[in-house]
Amino acid sequence: MAQGPLSGLKVLEFAGLGPAPFCGMLLSDLGAEVVRIDRKGGDDGASDLVTGRGRRSVALDLKSPAAVEACLKLMEGADGLIEGFRPGVMERLGLGPDLALARNPRLVYGRMTGWGQTGPYAQAAGHDINYIAITGALAAIGTADKPTPPLNLVGDFGGGALYLAFGLLAGVIHARATGQGQVIDCAMSDGAASLMAMFYGFKAAGLWGEGRAANLLDGGAHFYDTYRCADGRWISIGAIEPRFYQLLLEKTGITDPQFQRQMDPVAWPQLRDKLAARFALKTRDDWCALLGGTDVCFAPVLDMDEAPAHPHNLARGTFVKAAGLTQPAPAPRFSATPGAIQGPPPKIGADNDQALADWGFSAEAIAVLRAEGAL
């Protein structure tokens, strides 16, 4: 039995890359029943593909009319659908939203793309770095010399998967109230732009200037940055509020009166150099012992080997070991209906018979699919 607040929600996922499977993982972690349609004969995939956890796999040959019909029948029993192909691909397969909604008017049909279903770039290939480039986000992130891609966190996962999960669930709430399904056009470029809302507000208010490492939250301020310690490791400081900043000065033993010019951008470069020299006097562990858990707004900069062993993460169970792998635990947390990893990433086609049977296919119908080479 699935565990989590989305228990009972049925989602059909068409296998894809990056944000689409991450969206499926998020929904599964909170209890949704996610069945993934994989390509028959495709690569079994790596068992450590964490974002593939917690769903079942049905492998179909979508060039087969019988397989297409099977997908449409699965759509009849689904609350939501996730697909991450270029615009028009699902229509060419005979699985587009018009046909799907005709079979199931309550279906919420989630479409994940980089550029969206419409617009001059809609049919162009791209990746996270491109999608965030046109939103103003990439231009604002990096060193003074050049923009730097922030992993795939802003476009694929923040602006893409999280917005699709949010949109899909909003659509399901509407469908359950009205009986009306709909199409969710989730573009990573749209989501990344939405994530920039606060910064566009800062710019409109004259509180954000052009250029990188020149503003309050982009590494421009000496009190909101990372610093190298005596052992070559790094720490992070985010002492924005005056009382937190004063505590930083107190804890680090800084009495230089120039540091009272906290909000003077002209002074920031010199103050950063002085603060860097101070932090270089001790190891990261020394600074953790002095500043950790205080209102200085401090944390060590940990790599992916170190993070799961940090005392705070251990206390909260932020990382878990599942299927032999250390991986992030489900988030967020629910007091009454906690989520859980529902299972390891499936091998392609591992659940053909059982998943189809659970979604209403008779043994005879499954046998026909297999006989026709569709399954």
Task: List strand residue ranges (DSSP E) for 239-301, in order.
Answer: 298-300
Determine whether 310 is an active site residue. no
CA 86 to CA 79: how far, in whole Å?
22
Domains and CATH numbers, the chain: 10-195+320-371 (3.40.50.10540), 224-314 (3.30.1540.10)
Q: How many Cα atoms occupy the beta-carbon half-sphere of 173 within 13 Å?
A: 6
CA 160 to CA 174: how far, in whole Å?
21
pTM exceeds 0.75 for this model:
yes
CA 132 to CA 227: how far, in whole Å?
27
Is pLDDT of 269 > 70?
yes
> Confidence class of residue 347 from pLDDT cuts 50, 70 and 90?
very high
pLDDT of residue 2: 85
Is pLDDT of 47 > 60?
no
| Residue 318 amino acid letter | T
> Confidence class of residue 43 from pLDDT cuts 50, 70 and 90?
confident
Q: 136 vs 203, 206, 217, CA distance in Å?
A: 11, 16, 15
62 phi, psi to nearest 5 deg: -75, 0
How far is residue 20 CA from its own chain's centroid? 10
Which is the catalytic residue, given 127, 286, 310, 353? 127
Determine whether 127 is an active site residue. yes
Is pLDDT of 222 > 90?
yes
Is pLDDT of 44 > 80?
no
CA 285 to CA 269: how far, in whole Å?
26
Which is the catalytic residue, given 38, 156, 218, 225? 156
Is pLDDT of 45 > 80?
no
Average pLDDT of the residues in 64-83: 98
